[in-house]
């Protein structure tokens, strides 16, 4: 077991784009969604570090080795009239799971949410990912009952939106 004092969380920089994409691809492989990754170094550079960025990435390090990644963005709730922190993705390299890395990434994100005065922190998890669900429950997270996630993309998005 690794001491949590050895885990360091650092904000990603534009120089980390190659590494961010590597972690994203690792997550996609774990989730069986490698065909879904269309992100490129260029669009990650723009979306995470460009002038209109609403997202940020942080790495967990053990020594000089990056072992985990979290990607976060601001989310708005009309009911509360306040922002919250949305955890888009969290990924810990398989060989480092169970060593407190994920917990430290989540604690860092929770700290950001509190520091920024956000109401809450939210995320989605695949329904088959029992280890992640158990991890989140152990942190005290609660499943949001009564809500389903929908997505409009590709051809359906093109049909619905006005012509470009």
Catalytic positions are 136
Cα angle for residues 48, 87, 136 (degrees, 5° grid): 155
What token pair was written down for 118?
A: 């956000």
Tell the residue number behind the tokens 């920089």, with chain if given: 13
* Those residues with Cβ within 8 angstroms of residue 63's Cβ, 6 or more apart along the chain or in another chain: 6
CB 149 within 8 Å of CB 124: yes
CB 119 within 8 Å of CB 84: yes
Q: Which residues pair with 77 in a beta bridge?
A: 82
């Amino acid at each position: 077991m690794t001491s949590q004092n050895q885990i360091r969380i650092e904000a990603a920089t534009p120089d980390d784009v190659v590494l961010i994409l590597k972690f994203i691809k690792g997550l996609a492989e774990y989730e069986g969604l490698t065909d879904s990754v269309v992100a490129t170094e260029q669009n990650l550079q723009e979306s995470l570090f460009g002038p209109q960025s609403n997202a940020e990435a942080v790495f967990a390090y053990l020594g000089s080795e990056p072992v985990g990644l979290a990607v976060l963005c601001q989310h708005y709730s009309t009911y509360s009239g306040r922002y919250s922190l949305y955890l888009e993705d969290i990924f810990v390299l398989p060989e480092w799971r169970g060593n407190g890395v994920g917990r430290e990434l989540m604690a860092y994100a929770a700290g950001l949410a509190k520091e920024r005065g956000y109401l809450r922190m939210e995320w989605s998890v695949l329904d088959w990912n029992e280890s992640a669900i158990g991890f989140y429950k152990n942190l005290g997270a609660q499943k949001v009952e009564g809500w389903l996630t929908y997505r409009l993309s590709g051809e359906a998005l093109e049909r619905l939106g006005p012509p470009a």
